[in-house]
Amino acid sequence: MGYFSFLYYYNWSYMLFMLPCIILTIVVQASMKSTFNKYGSIHNSRGLTGYEAASRLLSSCGVTGVRIERVSGSYTDHFDPRTNVIRLSDAVYSSTSIAAVGVACHEAGHAVQHAQGYFPNKVRSVILPVANIGSKLSWFFIIAGLVASAMQPLLYIGIALFSASVLFTVATLPVEFNASSRALKVIRETGMLSSDEYVGAKKTLRAAAMTYVASAATAIMQLLRLLAIAASRNRD
C-alpha cells in the first residue's frame, strides 16, 4: 500500500471511528467547564477551603504523612504517589467554593487509595511504565508500517505498544470513580457541606469523571481504527 492508499484509509477510518469521540470530548469539556464555573463561584456555608477539606478527609480516614501543597495553573490538581503529596491549584487550595471542596476531597481520595493499597490503583501503577513507552513510541512504528508495505510488521508492533496506553486509560476509570466516591462519602458523613452544597460537589466530580470516560472512549476507538486499517491491509 502506497502513501495515497494510506491517506485513503486514514480519512475514512478517522471519520468513522474518531468523529463521534471528538464530538463527545467537546461536549464533555464544555459541560465540565460550565459546571466548574457554576460551583466554583458559590461559597460553601462552612467556609472550608480546599486545603482544609482535603486535610479533614485525610484525618477522617486515618491517613497521615501526606503533604498538601499549592500548585500554579488551572485544573492542575493531582496526587503524586511518589512523594505522597496532594497538589491543589490556585483555584482550589485557598478557595471556599463548593467545587474547590469537591476537587480537594477527590485528590485526597487518591491519597487514601494509595495509603490503603487500593487494588485497581496498584494495577494502574504496574501498567504505567509500559503505557509511557507505548505512548511515546507507538506512532513511530504505526506510521512506518502504514507508509511502507515492506515494513508492515512494524504496524503490529505499534498497535501492541498503543494497546498498553489504551489499557492504562481504561484502568484509570475505576480509580477516578472510586476517588470521587470516597470523597463524597466523607463529605456527606462529616457534614463538610450542606445537603444542597453536597449535590453541587457531586455534579462537579461527575462532570470531571466524564472527561476520563471520553478519553477512554477515544483511546478504544483509536485502537479499533488501527485494527480495522491493519485488517484492510491484510485483505489487499
pLDDT range class, residue 14, cuts 50, 70, 90? low
Distance CA 51, CA 28 (A): 27
170-191 mean pLDDT: 97
pLDDT > 90 fraction of the chain, expressed in percent and rounded: 75
Please determine, for residue 109, whether its predicted confidence score (pLDDT) is greater than 80. Answer: yes
- The reported pLDDT for the residue numbered 3 is 45
Range 88-116 average pLDDT: 97
Summarised one tens digit per residue, pLDDT across range 132-175 is 999 889 988 988 887 776 677 898 999 999 999 999 999 999 99
Which pLDDT does position 4 carry in this prediction?
42
Residue 52 appears among annotated catalytic residues: no
CA 150 to chain centre: 37
pTM: 0.88
**In contact, 224 and 13? CB cutoff 8 Å:** no
Which residue in 52, 107, 176, 197 is the catalytic one? Answer: 107
Asked if residues 187 and 193 have their Cβ atoms less than 8 Å apart, the reply is: yes
